[in-house]
Structure 1
Amino acid sequence: MNKYKLIGKIGEGTFSDVLKTQSLRDGNFYACKQMKQHFESIEQVNNLREIQALRRLNPHPNILMLHEVVFDKKSGSLALICELMDMNIYELIKGRKKPLPEKRTMSYMYQLCKSLDHMHRNGIFHRDVKPENILIKQDTLKLGDFGSCRSVYSKQPYTEYISTRWYRAPECLLTDGYYSYKMDMWSAGCVFYEITSLHPLFPGSNELDQISKIHDIIGTPAKKILNKFKQSRAMSFHFPFKKGTGIPSLVPNLSPKGLTLMYAMIEYDPDERITARQALHHPYFRELRTADKKALTIQRKVRLIENTEGQEPIHLWPTSKESKGQHFLRQAQENPKRHHGPSCVIELPKLNVCGVTKLTSYPSPTFRSVFTTPVTHCEVPVLQPIKYIGTNCKSEKQKELKTSLKQCHLPTIERRDGRF
């Protein structure tokens, strides 16, 4: 840590302290996550899930960037040097009287779903998605704190009480650790509601109260769903029937499309819950998807221009209504050397002959030159008719045959009653 200067303390967690530091090399500011646990070897540090996850997921525009890992062998201290963000979602909405504009909320949720989709496709799920772990810098959102992450392909059961209670999915509350990456989508739905309403969706005081608050809003699930959870838990449970008050009255400023997405995220049955990839294709994000496609097209064009600088221009297919033949004809006229032969009939330029051409390499004494008149002042000579040299026995007979031929006229055929 001799390369960094301590500026101040940003936050404190159960397993680490977050400090603001300044690099003595480049003068830039970074966030230093100082671990409270002491490590004995560099192998133990490299096996840390958070470091493995950040190395696998970086770089991504919506994942916190890990710049350096600082490990002191003597003291056993470990620090993760990450990029410095402005604030987290909790600090953003804390104390606000009016909700954020829906377009801004939409942008944040779109970026959160992109970060989760990137994680899940790389075989990792977070297990602790909450406002404090979602960081903001201007209009950019990044997911951080991967200390609780786990591999998607690891064997169940997992640790039961891993995520923060208010954002814990029903399968985490009702089973002995039999849950999957779908729990991240439930937590994201709770964050979605909290950004929109400025209040937590299910603020339970304990596990039983947490389940009760979930049923108060979305209702008691069907027996088929509860039976799925009972199969993986030793104790049985029975809940009184509740219809649920619903969410629309709690978020009146949210559009209908946003409401359908929120319901899809907090689906009680994890098998029916929406995935991050499906959420990105939801109609609620249609405008942002279109903007992303336009930005990606511009980036590809810029890269194409940069890669083709100093090279021959690339001729693309015509986009207008002109035919392919007209396109090739136009290219042949512009650059005839690039085309060995046109794909359609074209008019050849007139030949200007400035003198008599003599064939010296392969003389042919049996044929006379067709250029019988001398050429002066680069005038084009008049071509004389070709005459046969030698005897041709068939020529006289052919002449007699031509003269003996007579013209014959066939009689006209009359058509009667539509027939010949």
Structure 2
Amino acid sequence: MKMQSLRDGNFYACKQMKQHFESIEQVNNLREIQALRRLNPHPNILTLHEVVFDRKSGSLALICELMDMNIYELIQGRRHPLSEKKIMHYMYQLCKSLDHMHRNGIFHRDVKPENILIKQDVLKLGDFGSCRSSYSKQPYTEYISTRWYRAPECLLTDGFYTYKMDLWSAGCVFYEIASLQPLFPGANELDQISKIHDVIGTPAQKTLTKFKQSRAMSFDFPFKKGSGIPLLTTNLSPQCLSLLHAMVAYDPDDRIAAHQALQHPYFQEQRAIEKQALASHRKAFFPEHPVALASLGNNWQIPKEGRKQKQSQKQEEDHPRRQGAAYLMELPKLKLSGVTKLSSYSSPELQSVFGSSANGRVPVLRAWKCAGVDQKTDMQKDIKPNLKQCRLPTIERKGGRY
């Protein structure tokens, strides 16, 4: 529902939950709320503004940002497909939302045009009611995601699938945005598999064997070569088809990941636009300090090897390499008034600071001999102050501890 806030006058989208909730703890344990809290804020994830829970009635509502429409409403009834630049722009944002989600240990499980929202050419992924943690134990729920966008591993295994299923669904959405037609419109689960095999062909035997290991019921498919992805429109470039084929790879191990898809040549123009926008954003923040900005940019461009090399050079300047048993090392300067500057000198035979005790008693502390820098006399001319002998208290061990 579209709602208006009495506080600020702005319009929001209100999602009323059908489930009845008993306590605030039950509300906080809801996957959708946990996922949105973890993923917000992100420019391509729907923003959750407020959670409204009425304890008496047990009703729960999520107040989210209001978007213009979803992808299904955008392409429904269109006679002419979208331009390739707009398709590229939308798919880049969708891959960014998937990458952010997967990096945070969540996969959506229900990526479809109805759950992808649009507002002024900004795309945001919404409806995290079916999401799952990537670290949770398999098997997952078998019948998940809308059938047309369901990955083969979801159809052929007893719930053994991973976050890669989101990339299959995104590939199906990719084709649907470009051609205005669904890629695999199966009438039921068996027909869904048949539609996939008609286009992609039957998978390799190793892939089928992998799926059979996590399926109670055995299955075999007659060999099909596959007609290939139908080219219903002429606006699909070779790079576009390359990414599409990588997203709808039958074997999830061969399927492209979201962070890899963002680096695909198809998105080269989008990456350049994003880089340019980031540079102009920096200039807007630092207009009066172009030199500092340039030095900041140079620092970002230093590779890890260069940083390690500079660090090692600095360490060598501060501490020269060890030569032999002992080496010269300059002590840090003491910033104290009335104190003579000290410098250390090397000696291969350094006596212990603690004096030895023949009777087994606690050793007596001795003062170490120091020579000043300004003194030009020999090392034997030591300063011998009047010292008092003191003994350390004995240490009692109680219960294995001091």
Considering the TM-score relative to the shorter chain, is it more than 0.5? yes
Q: Match for residue 30 of structure 1?
A: 12
Structure-1 residue corresponding to 2:228: 246
1:108 aligns to what? 90
State how 1:307-322 maps to structure 2 within 5 Å.
314=292
Residue 33 (structure 2) aligns with: 51
CA distance in 2, matches of 1:97, 1:316: 49
Deviation at 1:316, TM superposition (A): 6.1
Give the SS at the match of 1:141. strand
Alignment of 1:3-402 (within 5 A): 19-305=1-287, 314=292
1:39-59 C-alpha deviation (Å, 9 max, x unpaired): 000000000000000001001
**Deviations 1:71-119 (CA, angstroms, capped at 9, x unpaired):** 0000000000000000000000000011111100110000000000000
Secondary structure of 1:260's aligned partner: helix
**Hey, what's the Cα distance between the residues in 1 that align with 2:95 and 2:231?**
25
**In the alignment, residue 146 of structure 2 is paired with which amino acid?**
T
Q: What letter is aligned with 2:147?
A: R
For 1:256, the aligned partner's letter is P
Superposition deviation, residue 248 in structure 1: 4.8
CA–CA distance in structure 2, aligned partners of residues 162 and 289 of structure 1: 33
Matched to 2:95, the amino acid is C
CA distance in 2 between partners of 1:314 and 1:277 (Å)? 31
Q: Is the 8 A contact 1:85 1:137 kept in 2?
A: yes
Deviation at 1:133, TM superposition (A): 0.1
1:73/1:269 CA distance change after superposition, 3 Å: same
Q: How far apart are the structure 2 equivalents of 1:293 and 1:315? A: 15
2:61 aligns to what SS in structure 1? strand
The answer to whether the Cα contact below 8 Å between 1:248 and 1:259 also exists between their aligned partners in 2 is no
Q: How many Å separate the matches in 2 of 1:270 and 1:251?
A: 27
Identity over the aligned pairs, expressed in percent? Answer: 80
Kept in 1: contact 2:286–2:293 (CA 8 A): no
Could you tell me how far apart the structure 1 residues matched to 2:159 and 2:292 are?
Answer: 58
Q: Equivalents in 2 of 1:161, 1:253: separation in Å? A: 35
Q: Which amino acid aligns with 1:70?
A: V
After superposition, the C-alpha distances for 1:283-324 in whole angstroms (9 at most, x for unaligned) are 000001011111112222333448x79xxx85966x9xxxxx
Between the aligned partners of 2:239 and 2:99, the Cα distance in structure 1 is: 20
Residue type of the alignment partner of 1:148: S
1:402 alignment partner in structure 2: none
| Structure 1 residue identity aligned to 2:94 | L
The structure having more radius of gyration, on CA atoms, is 1
> Which string of whole-angstrom CA distances, capped at 9 and with x for unpartnered residues, describes residues 125-167 of structure 1?
0000000000001110000000000001110000000111100
Q: For residue 80 of structure 2, give the secondary structure of its aligned residue in structure 1.
A: coil
**Structure 1 partner of 2:340:** none
Whole-angstrom CA distance in 2 between matches of 1:30 and 1:49:
21
TM-score, normalised on structure 1? 0.69
CA distance in 1 between partners of 2:232 and 2:78 (Å): 17
Runs of 4+ displaced beyond 4 Å: 313-317
Q: Distance in 1 between matches of 2:160 and 2:292?
A: 56
With over 3 angstroms needed to count, the CA separation of the structure-2 counterparts of 1:189 and 1:73, relative to structure 1, is: same
Q: Counterpart of 1:418?
A: none
Q: Distance in 1 between matches of 2:293 and 2:37?
A: 41
Q: Secondary structure at the match of 1:285?
A: helix
Match of 1:67, SS state, is strand
Displacement, 1:190? 0.1
Gaps of 5+ in 1: 1-18, 320-420
Distance 1:282 1:72, change over 3 A: same
Alignment-mate amino acid for residue 62 of structure 1:
N
> TM-score, normalised on structure 2?
0.72
Q: 2 CA distance for matches of 1:233 and 1:316?
A: 58
- Residue 234 of structure 1 and its aligned partner are, at CA, apart by 1.1
Q: Is the 8 A contact 2:160 2:214 kept in 1?
A: yes
Q: Name stretches of at least 5 consecutive residues in structure 2 with no aligned partner.
A: 298-402
